[in-house]
Amino acid sequence: MNEQLVSMITQLVVEKLGNNVSDKSTNQTTVDAEEPKDTLIKFYDTATNLQEEVPSLIQTNEPLIKLYHHESFQSGGSHVQANYFDPPYNGAAIQPFSFEADEVSESVQAAKQHTPARIGVGRAGTRPKTKTWLKFRLDHAAAVDAVYGEVTEGLLQNLNVFQVTTKVTDKEEYITRPDLGRRLSDEGKALIQSKCKQNPKVQIIISNGLSASAIEENVQDVYLALQQSLSNLNIEIGTTFYIDKGRVALMDEIGEILQPEVIVYLIGERPGLVSAESMSAYLCYKPRIGTVEAERMVISNIHKGGIPPLEAGAYLGTVVQKILQYQASGVDLVAKEG
């Protein structure tokens, strides 16, 4: 430290202590008015004296903090000319945020027209671009919402269906215990036996499965088109109902209870990162406990980006007709068709 500065500070401290002694003896509370103007450090006796000094600093026209425009500072402009009260980027029109257009080859652009898969997304260094990463997070959040969401009561009322439950108690158990989703609760069995028509030609059932969003988005159109298609083909339909947290193989137990010839099971698919609104329709001829998976048929990928719901419903009617004609489904149907 500078020896001269140390000496000056020491002298000021000693003088101040001396003044304190003098103030005590004379009961004076104010600072000496003849204090030198070139004092580097000021000391205050009480908070009162401090409050008296601070206004004198604020009354000056100099701001306590100065902000300088970056360009003016770099160009050597004086601090007086700095435009620190004007907002930054003054005069520039505010534009909504948008990502830069992707620069991909013509071949990649052509390929992207035929698939929603993440191709030609590029990268920034070793990491994905911000746009790609945000889209991934958005799709992942939609998938989580689809799994943990619930079908609304209003939709069930519009479909005019009643609801039964499985042995599953909550979503966590539904995900970790698929076997419980393949069995009806005792209340569900009793409700089905009391409300449903026995031995129908076709029994339609609906379940949220792993995507409530899929049911919300597609089931109304599919169900309406399927009803019309079966009606045009003079095929009898049983009493449709909704199963909360059901699995595909649950159709076997329902087949044992109602003894239908064909079951059409509309269920939400496991969501992916392309679509969380995809629904499937499983069909089986006389499903019973012990039915093997090869005897089932499935029309999958029913959503606005896959098979259109109305088209899927109409197509399902023709598949049901074929199953009834050959009295078989799955690989058995393929074998009988030749």
Binding residues for adenosylcob(III)alamin: 248, 269
Q: What is the DSSP letter of 160?
A: T
Cα–Cα–Cα angle for 60, 61, 63, nearest 5°?
100
- Per DSSP, the residues of 51-103 read HHHHHHHHTSSS-SS----HHHHHTT--STT---SSPTTTTPPP----PPPP-
Cα distance between residue 244 and residue 167, in whole Å: 10
Q: What is the DSSP letter of 166?
A: B
Cα distance between residue 222 and residue 225, in whole Å: 5
Q: Over 274-291, what HEC string results? A: CCCCCEEEEEEECCCCCC
Cα distance between residue 249 and residue 181, in whole Å: 9
Closest CA to 256 of 236, 235, 286: 286
Q: What is the DSSP letter of 112?
A: H
Closest CA to 226 of 198, 205, 207: 205
Are the beta carbons of 167 and 196 closer than 8 angstroms? Answer: no
The gap from C-alpha 74 to its chain's centroid, in whole angstroms, comes to: 45
> What is the helix (H) or strand (E) element at residue 319, kind and residue range?
helix 309-326
Cα distance between residue 285 and residue 263, in whole Å: 7
Binding residues: 248, 269
